[in-house]
Structure 1
């Protein structure tokens, strides 16, 4: 009978010692995870581009998937950075508590400051310890739900790609699933699933924070977290619009094209090209090699595009497309280049598939010139819209200089 109180006291002592020394693994784990989190977004960027170009993922699901993962990463960045900042303050207050164990000596202050009721440094040290632990434990309430949602999303995207479905179908399935789950959760106040979720680790942690901080305070904290993550998400998705094959360039990219997106010379990061590119912006030879990025979605859409072209498409300069390069119209300055000889290649620099051709430059005078590319695109059906052709006159554009050999 005496062993149980002893065992209980040993457990409490072990737990207290563990809590006192928890800051060391907390800081190490936070630092390691943060190092990965600041690298991962570029990897997700590359993965999303590969899914679009090589596997035919449409730009709407690609945007949703990339923004979703970027949001998750941004949330955890804020969690962990906040924790490290609090631990930095905690370490400073710990040093103050050790260096000045007596706290404030009022007799050594100016008279107008001696009437203030100063707290001992350990008061703030204990407060900071509690805040650090609170900031570090909060992610537990979102980890498990995010894991299940992510796995479900990956499953749906996999089905979508393998069976070549319209994204509209996958989107409806995903939304109906979420609505059914929400309705069932509200309709049945007592159910095994509801009890299991509520008593799980993340459900318990969420209930602890809501009951101790207050429901509205917890919701406000979540809202602030979302607002703080928006700049990080925006930073991660910069340049992703280049890979939206079905749309025109954004006005900023069209009027002020970035050299790294069109010239291998300036693509020091080795990132895949989204539209058209060549070797350099200085042309001193009799020809220029022009490359167009390959998109698997174009190949899948060709039959449907020809069906639509047989209808009332008199306003389009295309009558029939038998191969992907026929979707493009290349202009040198204001002259349409006819009968270009395209060949399929794999770019040695980025490893992506592309169509390549030589543009004649012999008769071109020295100076500034422009390559402009138009494209015929197919808009897939989505929520009652799409399933139609569009002529994208601002699909790609860059300026180069012809120089004397």
Structure 2
């Protein structure tokens, strides 16, 4: 029993020491991961701010270009757009949007049909089926798209689309009208199949806005949202990244970028901490939130560190094994010594038969069993006659051999459950 308890104690001690060794390495790795996480948050925030600044610069450049010539897209503007599209792959299209009052709608429609063809019409799209709404409900003013560059057959139906009827763009349009600055729409799925968003800005002069008049002209960039993701896409294992809108309605809006981390098992989830970070990025015109979530795990440890932990754990196990073996040897020697002493105390040293103490003990047990089972018990006493002449004639050594021979013959004919005892002298009992 003691050796089992000692083995259990050694196993528990080994597990405890192995856990402490692992925790020592993991604590250092976690501290390093926290520092890396903070630096990663700063680096990603700077990258994202830089990308948003580039988008704002493109929009300002396009707004300045259109203020020089309020006419519709000409050759110079097409060259400008082509250069921008080649330099900035996140650009899907550059658009012009015009405010049209209801009383000016007939003349404006004729002007647009003369430029784009008789199929041009003021319309909108109903979400999510993208079905065409025509004619539009009566409104005091409309905000149709009057130019899209680069223009192709895929985006041609978007000409004449009233963005004030698009739920995805209404908030950005209201902000641009109210504050006279650029505004960013929520993220949505573009016709090309990827996620994008609209960056909208009025192009009227500041004096017009100071007089309280709403802007008549807008420029917009249709941008791919996935270009906001980090340049180095090899994020640490287990790290998830989201770029979200910032504001009271942000929780209900889809993410601009959503990179899910590698899933982990329940052991890593319970045994390792989770690092979280939220940073406000962008400006008033492009308010975003960068959210990072990092589930730490065993991958924090390098192969060398894992090998060191394994070697130390095996060394501890080896030392405990040696200690257990030494303790088992002590117990074995003690048990053998106790067994030997017990044997000497209950057996005759000459014949090896049970002595008087052991005989009486087994007799009591036999009588107790008889009382329970109602079986019979036989006791046979033997006394050897004429044994003294053997000792006198041949010596005590020969007499001892005679006693040993007689004891061996009696044991040979007895059953295993029978007891043969030497009570003393030349008397035996079976």
TM class by shorter chain equals under 0.3
Structure whose CA Rg is larger? 2
Q: Name the one with the larger strand percent.
A: 2
Using the size of structure 1 for normalisation, the TM-score is: 0.22
TM-score under structure 2 normalisation?
Answer: 0.21
